[in-house]
Amino acid sequence: MLDTHGRAAVQPIISKTAHNLLKVGLSANHVTYIAFIIGIISSVLIYLGQPIVGVVVLWLSGFLDAVDGSMARQSKTSSSWGTVLDVTFDRVVEAGILVALALRHPEPNVLMLFLLLAISIIFTMTIFLTVGALSEKESYKSFYYQPGLAERTEGFILFSLLVLFQSHLVFWTIIFIGVEITTGIQRLLEARKILKS
């Protein structure tokens, strides 16, 4: 939701950063790899008990994840391979955060909720990617970016809440699961409309 409706507000900063990184000789794929490495570092910091620094680093990773797409468009180097890298690395970074939190909180009830959260993310992303691959609609991405209640920014907010308020981990995980399932159903209903033959 925030990505769809709030992108215009932050796009000038993203575009300027993209322009500057292109000027110093970095490519979009370089920044995709850098964002991925930073995202993994975030997981390590969270595991080591540095939640605030971990969240700051996570958001830096997320910012660069937005910048790489802008770089590809500015340099006219958008590619299907870049999209595959981007989407794959996003999921690995998210999994890393869950693994870091699971290692710090191995209680059975928490682990079960994390499993349900992972399943809800898989459910939502499966619909998102399938609709993106099958739809003839276009967006600023290299495939149809299906809007929903939880997009990338909402995911970062919810992961941040999990990390920063670990004393309320069960509560925030249940909220996260609810948001993901709602988004998945929302996207499934939209998919029925736009893909109906």
Measured CA angle at 143 (ends 93, 156), to 5 deg: 30
Query: Which candidate in 65, 68, 86, 90 is catalytic?
Result: 90
pLDDT at residue 168 tops 70 = yes
Phi, psi angles (nearest 5°) of residue 143: -145, 170
Could you give the CA distance from residue 177 to residue 114 in angstroms, rounded to a whole number? 9
Confidence of residue 164 (pLDDT cuts 50, 70, 90): very high
Instruction: Please tell me the pTM assigned to this model.
Output: 0.87
- Could you give the 3-state DSSP secondary structure of residue 78? coil
Known catalytic residue: 90?
Answer: yes
The least confident of 124-133, 135-144, 151-160, 170-179 is: 135-144
> Which residue ranges form the domains of the chain, and what is each CATH number?
2-194 (1.20.120.1760)
pLDDT at residue 197 tops 90 = no
For 61, other C-beta atoms within 10 Å of its C-beta total: 23
Could you give the CA distance from residue 75 to residue 64 in angstroms, rounded to a whole number? 16
